[in-house]
Structure 1
């Protein structure tokens, strides 16, 4: 499970030092792709393949299913960490997420997410006002 918030920086070649706590999960490869709110989702490769296999069983006669499959798969990029624990973020994904130098990497349960630091701070601030109300909704949903 991916947990926590980290603030690495991109280097001039678009490489990101992956937080040490996440590296073991990505040891066999990773896939990064677009996510909502102009963030990037980063999955262990096996988990991404499993997720896409499940998605492939959804009825592609539905426009929303086709659109989601296209957006996620067309943007996806597979890679491996280099010997220094870095991964290169492809230019098309850096542009999508507005990544320059200052980024935030967050744990989001089954994936890590990469955000532009300013975008993440703004998003977190906006969500904070509703956060206390969310607990009751999710407690009902999860049964815990």
Structure 2
């Protein structure tokens, strides 16, 4: 099972190619031989738009769960449209690069500087400026779920 951790600053070239950091690339090679699915995150706010990178087997396990959501529910339908509608299978090239499709670059408002953020079973890919703005946001207004209240760090 993949265990993606850490954050990595990377650059995207003018053609939309980005090189996956070596440590992450090694984990992807073990998890899926470099075959990934890149898709849109279904954010709560505009500021949280980013992309999700799933190892292909992880995506194939998750996809039926997304498809099975009740599409008469507005939030479920939005999640399906974003995650399934933007899902793009990709394979890392011999030097660990992928080409991010223009539709996904536009959705996530990507510029040259990006951040790769480990999230355990998946990775998030953020516009660097948006990532740091999100980090600086005050989140004290959010309700803390009971699972977090019981967590001892």
Give 1:1-144 correspondences, 5 Å limit.
1-27=3-29, 28=32, 29-35=35-41, 36=43, 37-127=48-138, 130=140, 138-140=148-150
- What stretches of structure 1 of length at least 5 have no aligned partner? none
The structure whose residues are more often helix, as a share, is 1
Deviations 1:105-131 (A, max 9, x none): 11122211111111111001115x64x
The whole-number CA distance in structure 1 between the counterparts of 2:152 and 2:65 is: 24
SS at match of 1:8: strand
- Report if aligned partners of 1:8, 1:104 keep a CA contact under 8 Å in 2: yes
SS at match of 2:75: helix
Post-superposition shift, 1:24?
A: 3.2
Post-superposition shift, 1:62?
A: 2.8
- Report if aligned partners of 1:25, 1:44 keep a CA contact under 8 Å in 2: no
- What stretches of structure 2 of length at least 5 have no aligned partner? none
Give aligned pairs, total: 140
SS at match of 1:31: strand
Deviations 1:32-58 (A, max 9, x none): 111121111100011011111122333
TM-score where L is the length of structure 1: 0.85
Alignment RMSD (CA, Å): 2.4
Deviations 1:77-97 (A, max 9, x none): 110000001111111111111
